[in-house]
A and B are shown apart, each in its own frame.
Chain A
Amino acid sequence: MRLSRKLRLLSAALAPMLALTACSGGSGGGGTGASANEQVKIKVWSWDGTVEGAVAGFQAANPNIKVEVVNAGSSQDEYKALDNAIQAGSGVPDLVMFEYFAVPYFAIPGKLADLGEFGAGKLQQDYVPAAWSDVTVGGKVYALPSDYGPSAMFYNEATLKKAGVDKPPATWDEYYEAAKKVRALGGDHYIAQDTGDIFFLLSLIWQAGGRPFKVDGTKVHIDFTDAGTTKAVAFWQKMLDEGLINTKITGWSDDWNRALNDGSLATQTMGGWLTSTLPERAPKASGDFKVALMPQWEPGTKVGAANGGSSFGIPAAAEHKEAAYKFLEYFAHGKGLSSRVEAGAFVPNLSVLDDKAFRDKESTYFGGQKVGAVLAEASEIVGSGWQYPPFFEWARSIYGDLASPFYTTGKGSLAEILEQWRQRCIQYGNEQGFEVS
């Protein structure tokens, strides 16, 4: 086993070649003939299981298109595989799943087809505006949104009650007061955990009106000193400084599951997708958790943010773009959408979010709450104009390196971390051929 690590070292460097051979092997099966009435076979890369469920219905309606859905790994792994396939010029899939932040990464260097050519532009009014802007780069649509992660506050009602908080905090000021009460319960009771979750911090900034990343083609401007960003960062700094946040439990870990189960973490401000995993992770807390909008910065306002979500785009090098778009439209907008929603997908399509049946459905895990209605509202209030830098995948991977010393020793501050992060992003972005300032 020791010696095999040596091979792994090499394979890190050699992955492109390995993937290249893997890809060329895979492309052999794909059909090549693409004349009008001939059978066309499209290859779809997706880690969203509900997409596969839409294939049968689509093929019944379009007998000359065959759809093959492949799970090419989730996010990072898939992006890598796609980059390799594009570089190799073979084995490029026809339709690919992307997290929203990855769309500019592929769109800016011209690796994605402009979906406007297929008439995607007219679908704009059918989606939550913020989701639509996530798939738009430089005024062109490069993907259709397929699922959404409006930020919402999941709260353990029982824990809050025990702490003397009778209704969920509606503003961040109330959240701060609630946090102190929860902490007063003693032991491991905290209002939330944070060990340097960049997606959470960005959702806080997003909601406060900060827009730290400005992307225009290959020009990227990064600034963590605008008013919204400063307000959000200062607030979270205060929460951390006063010891109101558990900095020992990391999200998605076993410790986290346990804390969710025993109710010692009172809230989770995360993407709406948490509804699908929370029941599995915290079965013992069934009936305790409820969902509310994110606490607001100003009383009486309703502004939200997003945390995650994904979309599907068509590589510029894909062979059957037309057929691929047909399928994409089918499951992300048309007739195939309802089956996916039934299978548990949370989509940013207004036709679904405004649907009475969707809004009125009571969830047993959430104590009979109409979760759909809350998340639909959370989706509709997501602040517009947010942008991710095209190299966000890399940027988020190194954020932990910079944040870790602060979270373990308390030395430094979030603002300093963000400034260091900005410097690293500028350096990396410029090396990668962008103009970053």
Chain B
Amino acid sequence: MAQARQPDAAARGPRKPRRPQAGLAFIAPFAALFALVFIVPILYAAYLSFFQDRLVGGTTFVGLDNYTKLVRDPQFWDGVARVARFTLVQVPIMLVLSMALALALDSMRLHGTKFLRVTIFLPYAVPAIVSTLMWGFLLGVKYGLFGSLNKALGTDFDPFSPGTTLISIGVMVTWAFTGFNMLIFYAALKAVPRELYEAAAIDGANELQVVRAIKLPALRGSLVVTVIFSIIGTFQMFNEPQILPSMVANSGVTTFYTPNLYAYNLAFTGSQQGYAAALALVMAAITIAVAYAVQIRGLRNASSGR
């Protein structure tokens, strides 16, 4: 044993000083790409946000004007409030649903789990544009499912009126991402050592106790991850409100329905790139702050235990 270790250590000796350089070489391809597609764009956006583009007079340096204007822009805050409300309602529902599905799949009491797993995950693979079109047809009151339902029940419920559109989008997003989150939970459950279950069985624990004492605590880490993913996702909602207005009349979707949509419209129809850049950065900061807060809270809870 000792003999075998000797040449190993000898070989490592001279390599030691070279290690930093070698590491840099390995990281270089990633670092270059990361800088090019991530750091540079962010810096460029920051640079842009200090300028105002005007149709007459061109681009001028305005310092922090775009930011002060943004803070006082009711349309921006309307969008932020909307996605925040959406997050508060949709994310818990979706995550509870995904968790329940993951637990069900993991319970080993279901037949055809593989098939179910794929089926539940499948909506995630459908591009948001396609799924929005699909749900648009499904929820449409004129020829869609809700049209038939209304006719059959004699009701007059419209899933795409200004008051209900956000709920409908919530349904779409939940449909699309429940499977994705379920998979994360399911993976976490699979990582639980089987001995724990055996021990629990020997101790005479029933299924409910196993769930409460073993499975739910095991999900805590992935819960933080899924919450963060979901917050980032919903704060950047874009596809659904972008497509809906071309499908249904007066769904209440405005050009500033979500901050992302607002940024897009500012940049592409209002030619206010500087303002849009400022909005993008502020929104990124808000999203990061919220996600970070969740992470810190989540980790603190995780470490303090129950």
Contact = CB atoms under 8 A, between A and B. Distances in A.
Interface in B259-286: 260, 263-265, 267-271, 273, 276-277, 279-281, 283-284
Interface residues of A, number: 53
Query: Which 6 A-B residue pairings sit nearest by Cβ, starting from the closest?
Result: A433-B56, A2-B233, A250-B249, A195-B249, A13-B277, A433-B54
B44 A6 contact: no
Contacts of B283: 9
B48 A13 contact: yes
Interface in A96-131: 105, 108-109
Contacts of A11: 41
A397 B265 contact: yes
Contact of A13 (B246, B254, B263): B263
16 contacts: A1-B128, A2-B233, A6-B232, A9-B238, A12-B260, A12-B276, A15-B267, A76-B268, A80-B268, A105-B55, A218-B56, A258-B143, A401-B254, A404-B250, A404-B254, A408-B250
B85 interface: no
A80 B264 CA distance: 12
B256 interface: yes
B84 interface: no
Interface stretch (A267-275, A314-322, A328-336, A388-396): A388-396
Interface in A1-45: 1-3, 5-6, 8-17
A248 interface: yes
Nearest to A434: B56
Interface centre among A80, A247, A407 (most CB of B within 10 A): A80
Contacts of B265: 397
A355 interface: no
A35 B236 CA distance: 52
A12 B263 CA distance: 7
Given A14-B41, A400-B254, A401-B256, A390 B55 contact: yes
A254 B147 CA distance: 14
A377 to B, nearest CB: 32
Interface of A: 1-3, 5-6, 8-17, 76, 80, 83, 105, 108-109, 188, 193, 195-196, 218, 247-250, 252-255, 258, 390-391, 393-394, 397-398, 400-401, 404-405, 407-409, 428, 431-434
B175 interface: no
Contacts of B260: 5, 8-9, 12
B interface majority secondary structure: helix
A400 B261 CA distance: 14
Contacts of B216: none
Interface stretch (B134-142, B197-205, B292-300): B134-142
A109 B58 CA distance: 9
B42 interface: yes
A434 B236 CA distance: 33
Contacts, number: 155
A5 B233 contact: yes
A398 B267 contact: no
Contacts of B230: 2
B63 interface: no
Contact of B55 (A2, A391, A397, A408): A391
B273 A13 contact: yes
Interface of B: 41-42, 44-45, 48-49, 52, 54-57, 124, 127-128, 137, 140-143, 161-162, 177, 180, 229-230, 232-233, 236-238, 245-250, 252, 254-256, 260, 263-265, 267-271, 273, 276-277, 279-281, 283-284
Given A8-B238, A9-B236, A15 B56 contact: no
A428 B137 CA distance: 36
B276 A13 contact: yes
Contacts of B279: 13
B128 A12 contact: no
Given A12-B268, A408-B162, 11 more contacts: A2-B230, A5-B233, A9-B283, A13-B49, A13-B277, A196-B250, A250-B250, A254-B140, A258-B142, A258-B143, A408-B252
A407 B41 contact: no
Nearest to A407: B250
A254 B245 CA distance: 12
Nearest to A188: B142
A132 B140 CA distance: 43
B286 to A, nearest CB: 11
B45 A433 contact: no
A353 B142 CA distance: 40
Given A1-B124, A253-B246, A17 B41 contact: yes
Contacts of B271: 80, 83, 394, 432
B245 A400 contact: yes
Given A9-B283, A12-B263, A401 B255 contact: yes
A390 B55 CA distance: 9
Contacts of A431: 52, 54
A3 B228 CA distance: 11
A315 to B, nearest CB: 15
Given A247-B250, A404-B254, A12 B55 contact: no
Given A2-B229, A14-B45, A109 B56 contact: yes
A249 to B, nearest CB: 6
Given A255-B143, A394-B270, A428-B270, A249 B249 contact: yes
Nearest to B75: A401
Contacts of B281: 13
A13 B45 contact: yes
Nearest to A404: B250
A427 to B, nearest CB: 11
B244 to A, nearest CB: 10
Nearest to B124: A1
B121 to A, nearest CB: 12
B280 A405 contact: no
Contacts of B247: 250, 253-254
Contacts of B161: 408
B273 to A, nearest CB: 6
Nearest to B229: A2
Contacts of A218: 56
